[in-house]
Amino acid sequence: MRAIIVGAGIGGLSAALCLRRIGWQVCVLEQTDQLGEIGAGIQISPNASRLLGTLGVLDRVGPAAFEPERIEMRLGRSGREVFSIPLREAAMARWGAPYLHLHRADLLAALMGVLREDSPDAVLTGKTVIGYTQEKQKIQADLADGSSVEADILIGADGIHSTIRDQMLGKQPPRFTGNVAWRATVPISSLGELAPPPTACVWVGPGRHAVTYRLRGGALINFVGVVEQQGWETESWTEQGRCEDVLADFSGWHPIITNLIRQADSHYRWALFDRAPLKQWTDGRAALIGDACHPMLPFLAQGAAMAIEDAWVLAESLKASTQPSQALQAYAAARLDRTRKVQAGSLANMRTFHHKHDLAYLPLWLIGKLMPGFIHSRQDWIYGLDLNQSANPQHG
Ligand code: FAD
């Protein structure tokens, strides 16, 4: 059996590895000529890291991953701790897999490395898919260069502006969430005593928040600063803004944040979009995964994790059935509810992170002091999902 996968992002490459695992041939069609170096980090929570471990991706990432000691919330202006609870040991003990911080380029290179070792010609770059055509027994991807590729199924892993989704459900632009994200990476060596802690740290404040964490074994700091802002709606990993604009957005914030902004060579900005949950992810032999079907705000750090889970469940559904279109429907049915909840949770975190008054964080501060386990337990439904079934997570 053979699958066409449209898009070589985290979702598409994960799908390729999951399908190879069940013995399918894969052809990944990626529009860009080169899988670029994206200068940003990504948090991979235990629900996804356990799958990447089984796929052999974590071994390849090796020491480039960073395991944060704790998960923290701090007030953006004063730096005062709202809560700080263990994460590194807790992730293994409670959810059975590590919580990791990775450079996106390292994760993509590892996914690609494992795939190429197994199927050297699986990924074709410079191939833009403009749509699909299907008959009862097969489906084909139609390419911009006039050629086509045929297979048993087609997976649209082509991101938030998915061409495959547009054909399946009609063209409908994603919605601007009213948030713009600044992103930068800075060598820890240039930060001295103002280096952010070795944690997954969210700094909260009125109408904005920042996230800091370490990459590449701790050598690099990742900064994401999210600001509620109307009127600028460009999505791009490469669009640059000015240092003074980021500083203005975080004016009066703790020196760890303002120093980080000053020390960054480049400040990228990205308008954040999402979609309301879709009811349909499949059309016969075509199915969507990842941001193509459930783009979300990054406020639970789950977009890529959900794409990896999708890839896994899709392959498991295909393994369990001899009818590809039925298997794809079963996949979508298994995923709709969970991804809808994660989309909603991501949106809800915007309120939690952007309170107007510091006093609004008092209840969380109390919970962090009196019942730190409660904060862990709030993540169980996300991090504790064991699709692999081979790990042994302990809840409660
Ligand atoms: P994409 O990464 O968008 O990949 C789609 C691929 O398809 C691209 O390579 C594209 O070139 C290709 N493509 C598109 N159209 C075509 C076409 N017509 N033909 C051929 N190829 C095509 N998630 C987490 O889990 N943890 C985090 O910490 C986290 N932090 C984030 C921080 C920020 C600021 C943002 C914006 C997002 C964050 N996310 C995070 C979300 C995560 O980045 C996305 O959910 C994830 O990358 C989606 O992967 P994907 O493969 O579905 O889509």
What are the strands, taking DSSP E only, across 110-239?
Answer: 123-124, 129-134, 139-143, 148-151, 153-156, 175-187, 200-205, 208-215, 220-228
pLDDT, tens only, 49-69: 999 999 999 999 999 999 999
Question: Residue 230: its pLDDT value, please?
Answer: 78
Distance CA 203, CA 198 (A): 14
pLDDT confidence of 391, banded at 50, 70, 90?
very low
Within 13 Å and on the Cβ side, how many CA atoms surround 389?
3
The whole-chain average pLDDT of the chain stands at 94
Cα–Cα distance, 333 to 116 (Å, whole number) = 31
Among protein residues, the one whose CA lies closest to atom 12 of ligand 1: 7
The CB density around residue 323, as the number of other CB atoms within 10 Å, is: 10
Q: Residue 36: pLDDT above 90?
A: no
Q: In this predicted structure, what is the pLDDT of residue 236? A: 65
Residue whose CB lies within 8 A of the most ligand 1 atoms, among 44, 106, 291, for a mutation test: 291
Q: What is the pLDDT of residues 222-232, one digit of tens each?
A: 999 999 987 76
> Which residues is 5 bridged to in the sheet?
28, 155
What is the pLDDT at residue 395? 33
**To the nearest whole percent, how much of the chain has pLDDT over 70?**
96
pTM of the model: 0.96
Atom of ligand 1 lying closest to residue 29 CA: 20
Q: What is the DSSP string of 353-372?
A: HT-SSGGGGHHHHHHHHH-H
DSSP assignment string, 44-66: E-HHHHHHHHHTTHHHHHGGG-B
For the annotated catalytic residues, the residue numbers are 213
Q: What is the mean pLDDT of residues 72-86?
A: 97
Q: Which residue has the higher pLDDT, 149 or 239?
A: 149
Tell me which residue of 67, 65, 69 sits closest to 105, measured CA to CA: 65
In the structure, which protein residues have their CB atom closer than 6 angstroms to any atom of ligand 1?
A: 6-12, 29-32, 42-43, 128-129, 157-159, 163, 181, 183, 224, 270, 290-292, 298, 301-305, 307
Residues 6+ apart with CB under 8 A from 343: 274, 277, 294, 296
**What pLDDT, in 10s, does the model give residues 302-359?**
999 999 999 999 999 999 998 999 999 999 999 999 999 999 999 999 989 999 999 9
Name the DSSP class of 151.
E
